[in-house]
Chain A
Amino acid sequence: MNRNGSSPAPVPASAPAPALQVTDLQVTYYTDSGRVKAVDGVNLTLYSGERLGLVGESGCGKSTMALALMRMIKPPGRIEAGSAIVGGPGGMDLLKLNEEQILNARLSTVSYIPQGAMNSLNPVLRVGAQMLDAMRAHLPKATKEELNERVEHALESVELQRNVFRMYPHELSGGMKQRVCIAIGILLSPKVIIADEPTSALDVVVQRQVMETICRVQEKIGAAVILIGHDMGLMAQITNRVAVMYAGKLVELSTVREMFTDPLHPYAQALISSLPNLENKGVFQSIPGLAPSLLRLPSGCVFHPRCQHAMDLCKTVVPRQSTTPSGRFVYCHLYDEHGNKVKQPETSTKAQVQQKVPVTGR
């Protein structure tokens, strides 16, 4: 277990160009029972050609983050702060675009592959019409032949036959519908593709085919992909890096190998040790306690009520970002700002962690 600094570089060494740089993203929902910070101060950088997995339990803010990047947060939700710059320094900030600009940026710069492929296509329009209207909204001057050609090209690249163009969604299988959604997502060769659990409604065989399709077309157009999901096995196979979210906060961001062999954050460790592997088939560890309500977040580090390594410091002070020399992020008091493990008074705290853990900290 070498934890310090000897892990491989997180990004391919060939001079990574940032495709998307998210800084201090904050999204709040103003509900009747109070303010809910669904995404709280997320920083991450996505490189061109990279596939980033975004994992975390339900309600931890994964989808909200995706919606925020598409600027699809609707009242009572609001993007409070942050920036999301596409295409390196000086690129456009998705969060600062006006109504007209964001309409143009959707699909052409950032595209979204939806979760519920079963219902994501309009039942009364032919598949072709739904692809053409998307193109027309962005390329008003293109001729009919150009548009048709691009649509057919997109269908081919997701391994669908041309006649799908003339079919209605109800004539397609679930996997085919998801492929159509992918084809729509890549129509305009966007820089960033956000795939929100694109395979959750499909059986495992089709899941694999669909994921392979996403990877292939992504490599072809050189886009960066944010893949949101729960399926750690899928993440291990598909992604380059994995970001773990907990209660609206990013807790760790590492390469996929480091994440699975040597997770830094206690939550990430618990998440990984809950997975079956070949050596340990029998007993899996669960994470004690429940995820906190976003309405009443624990003070200090949001994970401390459930953390095995919680110290007094964790109850009061929010951990800052530690960056290892290899570029991993972790937000935890166990590490110093360079990601080195801090010596800690082991005895004082371990005893305080009980099996039945309070959900709230205040």
Chain B
Amino acid sequence: MRLGYVLRRFIFLIFVMWTAATVLFTIPRLSRVNPIRERFAALARSTGYAPKDLENIIASYELKFGLDKPLPQQYADYMGSVLRGDLGVSLMSYPKPVAELIGEALPWTIGLLLVTISLTFLIGTAIGALAGWPRSPRWVKGTVTPLMVLAAIPAYTLGLLLVYLLGFRLKLLPMGGAYSPGMVKALTMPFALDVVKHAILPALSLILAYVGFYALGMRGMGVTVQGEDYVNFAEHKGLRQGRIFYWYYVRNAILPQVTSLALALGGIVSAGILVEGLYGFPGIGSTLSAAITANDYFVIYGVGFITIFAVGISMMAVDLLYPLLDPRIRYDRK
């Protein structure tokens, strides 16, 4: 009945996405700012060009985008087109479709966040496990304290600090962007290295901000597990430390870590969006912040949609991973 569980979980995910999409749809519309009028105002400010029949132009654009219709009608139209797989076109980069905008930005974000989240989880869990293990040297146990301090600082603040120290002062790493200007975008070694170099700072600010969270959680669980009877009995059996450490200690202590991974996914993604903006990283976060500034409704919707979908799917994946880690959990019984 594993399939039944997955199906139930999937229906739930769709429901969550629909609710989120509705909220997403409403919020930008609460503002009285008209994105098209703003766009022309900006154009007028920068070029001095002000068309005479501005109101007519705005009206014709609104007609084109369907913004002249009553809001419930627009909601129904938008939901309908989303169901057909059409995310609409960008108001600002017209006639570029939203899907194309996202498609350009998404690989950057996925690359950055996938690496960041897995590194954060692995490093944090490893440090926490070592810090909770009674036989670890004292300095290993002490590493948790500075990590706790880092965990209290938001990722974007850490990011600013890192840019200042490593980018501006020491000039070790580039201060922004995803690759050096003038680089040819191709799958070559120099380009790959350049990308990695640019990704270090954004990744580092996220890792430093979240690694303490996992280390602390793992240490807490580890301290409990190392006192359990089965760890003691493993020692009575004459097992080597390595075997006890991994199979008796880490394997049991890691279970709540996986839950907190699922819970933290949403948080890391939104922190990632802020950090991307900070570094001018051409990912989905930068796309979103540009869209929010310009009130580019359809891009905001699109990015929000994709993000919620990704987080929902990942949480579901973590959920399905659980029975593999803990034999006591089965989804076939209700």
Contacts and interface: CB of A to CB of B under 8 A. Distances in A.
B240 A103 contact: yes
Contacts of B248: 122, 125
B230 interface: yes
Given A114-B229, A170-B327, A122 B234 contact: yes
Contact of B238 (A123, A126, A134, A168): A134
B247 A108 contact: no
B252 interface: yes
Contacts of B233: 112, 114, 120-121, 181, 184
B327 A72 contact: no
A320 B328 CA distance: 55
B239 A137 contact: yes
B238 to A, nearest CB: 3
A318 to B, nearest CB: 33
Given A107-B238, A133-B239, A137-B240, A114 B232 contact: yes
Contacts of A104: 238
Contacts of A115: 229
A133 B238 contact: no
Interface in A66-107: 70, 72, 74, 103-107
A111 B239 CA distance: 12
Interface string B298-334: 0000000000000000000000000001111000000
Contacts, number: 77
B328 A168 contact: yes
Contacts of A116: 229
Given A114-B229, A119-B228, A133-B243, A124 B237 contact: no
Nearest to A170: B328
A112 B247 CA distance: 20
Given A123-B327, A123-B328, A137-B243, A103 B229 contact: no
Contacts of A118: 229
B96 to A, nearest CB: 51
Given A70-B236, A72-B232, A114-B236, A168 B243 contact: no
Contacts of A338: none
B77 interface: no
A108 B238 contact: yes
Contact of A184 (B134, B237, B327, B328): B237
A104 B239 CA distance: 9
A115 B230 CA distance: 11
B251 interface: yes
Interface string B221-234: 00000001110111
Nearest to A102: B238
Given A120-B229, A122-B247, A133-B247, A168 B327 contact: yes
A122 B230 contact: yes
Interface in A114-148: 114-116, 118-126, 133-134, 137-138
Given A123-B252, A125-B247, A170-B328, A137 B238 contact: yes
Most buried by B among A104, A115, A126, A134: A134
B246 to A, nearest CB: 11
Kindly name the residue among A70, A115, A124, A134 whose own CB sees the greatest number of chain B CB atoms within 10 A: A124
Contacts of B251: 122, 124-125
Nearest to B238: A106
B86 interface: no
B137 to A, nearest CB: 14
Contact of A72 (B230, B235, B239, B325): B235
B18 to A, nearest CB: 37
Nearest to B241: A103
A74 B328 CA distance: 31
B258 to A, nearest CB: 12
Contacts of B234: 122
Contacts of A70: 236
Nearest to B254: A124
B251 to A, nearest CB: 5
Centre residue among B233, B251, B327 by max chain A CB count within 10 A: B233
Contact of B236 (A106, A119, A123, A125): A106
Interface of A: 70, 72, 74, 103-108, 111-112, 114-116, 118-126, 133-134, 137-138, 168, 170, 181, 184
6 contacts: A114-B229, A121-B230, A123-B326, A123-B328, A125-B251, A138-B238
Given A70-B236, A134-B238, A181-B233, 5 more contacts: A107-B238, A115-B229, A121-B230, A133-B237, A137-B239
Closest 7 CB pairs of A and B: A106-B238, A119-B229, A134-B237, A112-B236, A120-B233, A122-B230, A116-B229
Interface of B: 134, 228-230, 232-240, 243, 247-248, 251-252, 325-328
